[in-house]
Amino acid sequence: MKTIQFREAVQQAMSEEMRKDDTIYLMGEEVAEYNGAYKASKGMLDEFGPDRVIDTPIAELGFSGIAIGSAMNGNRPIVEFMTFNFSLVGIDQIINNAAKMRQMSGGQFNIPIVFRGPTASAGQLAATHSQAFESWYANCPGLKVVIPSNPYDAKGLLKSAIRDDDPVIFMESEQMYGDKGEVPEEEYTIPLGVADIKREGTDVTIVSFGKIIKEAYKAAEELEKENISCEIIDLRTIRPMDHDTILKSVKKTNRLVILEEAWPFGNIATEITYQVQANAFDYLDAPIIKINTADTPAPYSPELFKEWLPNSEDVVKAVKKVLYK
């Protein structure tokens, strides 16, 4: 095992796959000459050249469409958005073409494409640069949605996403690119659609994903001092979702808290809540609690932002509430 940064795990996954398959290429704003806005493609232009690591104009609708067309003609593009906030400019291509082409063509065309980049907030970037759109993309049939929380998962999941024959939305975080973790030097992949139990526990199940899961880890450490045992599940893949792992855990702990960096209405936590009440209602000893951002655009003020974003204290309070403590 070697300790590397999250950005290095992303770069390794892309480079390793590109060495094996010359139909894979990377395109996006500043991915080539600048080595990526977050240095996640560092050195790739030097290795693969400008035909396979392509700087684009600030035109997400245009280069998303180009990538989808090239996927229909036998290529396997990786499209980087500087942030998924900017994917809104290209969302027509993603939803109306990438997600639907396989069905609309009667299976004649599949779209092996990865759209990747950071999601959700990254500090004081204000309302239009701090949005979590995973529930939007997960709502659309035809797309797979992946959100890793650490370098090991990022590399293994990204390699699987690149090899997948369907379009995959791969969401990262500006605030995780410098995170370090152990990653095997040998070849490995992580299958899409499989959650991971990051911490075994007996009293309450906490489900989360992406960078906000760090707040669940902090809360679990605090709660352990009070002899409260938390089981933490990292979804890793939002669609397809691993309902079985969640249900099995809830049947053991009988309580569920869901932590998600998204607005409260119609999010991933809402879907999990439905699945658990539909399939494990009799095992619940308390109502499910979901923890989300405030139901407002993200504020710029640092003090307001602290109140807007979920934190470990929110998790501790929710766990104690489902335990009636």
Residues annotated as catalytic (active site), given as ranges: 60, 129
Residues 274 and 278: their CA atoms lie apart, in Å, by 6
Determine if the peptide bond prior to 240 is cis (ω within 30°): yes
**Look-up of token digits 């405030």:** 294
- 273-280 long-range CB contacts below 8 Å, 24 or more apart? 275/241, 275/243, 275/246, 275/247, 276/246, 276/247, 276/250, 279/243, 279/247, 280/247, 280/250, 280/251
**Look-up of token digits 């700087």:** 55
Residues 147 and 95: their CA atoms lie apart, in Å, by 18
Which residues have CB under 8 Å from 43's CB, separation 6+? Answer: 11, 15, 35
CB 208 within 8 A of CB 42: no
Cα 252-256-258 angle, rounded to 5 deg: 140
Residues 113 and 32: their CA atoms lie apart, in Å, by 19
Q: What is the largest CA-CA distance in the chain?
A: 60
Identify how many contiguous H helices and E strands the chain contains and give both numbers. 12, 14
- Strands 256-259 and 289-291: what pairing? parallel
